[in-house]
Amino acid sequence: MVNRGCSFEMPDGLACRAPALRGKSVCYWHDPDKAEEAAESRRIGGLHRRKSKSVATIYDFSGLRTVESAQRLLETAAIETLALENSIARNRTLISAAAGAGKLIEAGDLDTRLTAVEAAIGSRANSDEDAAFPEEVGR
């Protein structure tokens, strides 16, 4: 049997089209029998999002998409770990943080150098003094 998707009409007038529940014409979120359960799921989802935002703010965490933000997380973890009682696990964590920091420093350094090289090449690419075919410069 082909699942035609949820037939619930959304506020914009289009059908929801999320996969319909087995033997039904509506999805989990639009099934009146699941309304209470769905509402609780939405509430818990909202709580998780709010909690994530609060924790991220407290720890000045902005994600792991840049070397800088990864370094900030590593530093926070290292400081928190340093404050713990000495143990083999603590020392392993700190050694691991130091190794991770080395990789991040290297990645940051390479990125800085590459940016500088690209900037140098970019500014020279438009100069006619080193052009192999000066007549083509500026075309």
Residues that bind Zn ion (CB under 5 A): 6, 8, 16, 18, 27, 30
The CB-of-32 to Zn ion minimum distance in angstroms stands at 11
Q: Which is nearer to Zn ion, 18 or 137 (CB)?
A: 18
- Which residues lie across from 15 on neighbouring strands? 9
Q: Which is nearer to Zn ion, 28 or 61 (CB)?
A: 28
Cα separation, 105 vs 107, whole angstroms = 5
The CB-of-5 to Zn ion minimum distance in angstroms stands at 8
Query: Buried b / exposed e across 56-80, counting CB within 10 Å, b at 16+?
Result: eeeeeeeeeeebeebbbbbeebbee
The CB-of-39 to Zn ion minimum distance in angstroms stands at 14
The CB-of-137 to Zn ion minimum distance in angstroms stands at 60
Q: Which is nearer to Zn ion, 29 or 61 (CB)?
A: 29
Q: Which is nearer to Zn ion, 35 or 79 (CB)?
A: 35
Cα separation, 59 vs 79, whole angstroms = 12
List phi, psi (to 5°) of 9: -85, 120
